[in-house]
Amino acid sequence: MSKPNQDCIRLLTGLGVEGDAHAGPTARHRSRVARDPSQPNLRQVHLIHAELHDELSKAGFPVAPGEMGENVTTRHLDLLGLPVGTRLHLGTDAAVEVTGLRNPCVQLDGIKPGLMATVLDRDAHGNLVRKAGVMGIVIAGGEVRPGDSIRIELPSERFRSLGPV
């Protein structure tokens, strides 16, 4: 599940990250393939905010970027607060459209027991909060490097909160 840090990744339009196990136009995640292997792949790119790594470290779960399977690590960007359909322009050419929240699975406990529970929380109303990043589809390919800028383009339609995909 862990992905090594790279000097550069290449995003492929409609597919995902070149060489990634989750790349492709249709579902690649085991649970989704089991339900319907022909459904569109809404999980081509996984982005996590570095602030989650900071939070996990303070809680006794030091996790490095890429260790939870993310392709891109951001900082100073409220990924979890973005609406569905937000476009993230990465570097000069690449763009990812946010499709939803990552639904964390028990594989995280393989990194360190208890990690999965730590990336889940409850809000003031008792609703489950998933903190393990967002998923998206590649709408414009290109190379992405550490330190590249990210420009946010909010969707023109009404705000739709992110849900698990």
DSSP states along 139-150: EE-EEE-TT--E
pLDDT at 4: 86
Q: What Cα–Cα distance (Å) separates residue 57 from each residue in 3, 35, 51, 52, 115?
A: 19, 35, 10, 8, 11
Pairwise pLDDT comparison (27 vs 52), residue with the higher score: 52
In whole angstroms, what is the distance from residue 130 CA to residue 123 CA?
10
164 token code pair = 């698990």
Q: Hey, what domains does the chain have and what are their CATH numbers?
A: 9-153 (2.40.33.20)
Residue 155 one-letter amino acid: P
pLDDT at 164: 95
pLDDT digit string, tens, across residues 137-150: 999 999 999 999 99
Task: Give the predicted TM-score (pTM) of the model.
Answer: 0.94
pLDDT at 2: 84
53 token code pair = 């790594």
What distance, in Å, lies between the first and last C-alpha atoms of the chain?
Answer: 18
Is residue 55 helix, strand or coil?
Answer: helix
pLDDT digit string, tens, across residues 57-110: 999 999 999 999 999 999 999 999 999 999 999 999 999 999 999 999 899 999
pLDDT at 36: 81
Q: Is 140 exposed, middle or buried (0-12, 13-18, 19+ CB in 10 A)?
A: middle
pLDDT digit string, tens, across residues 22-48: 999 998 877 777 788 788 999 999 999
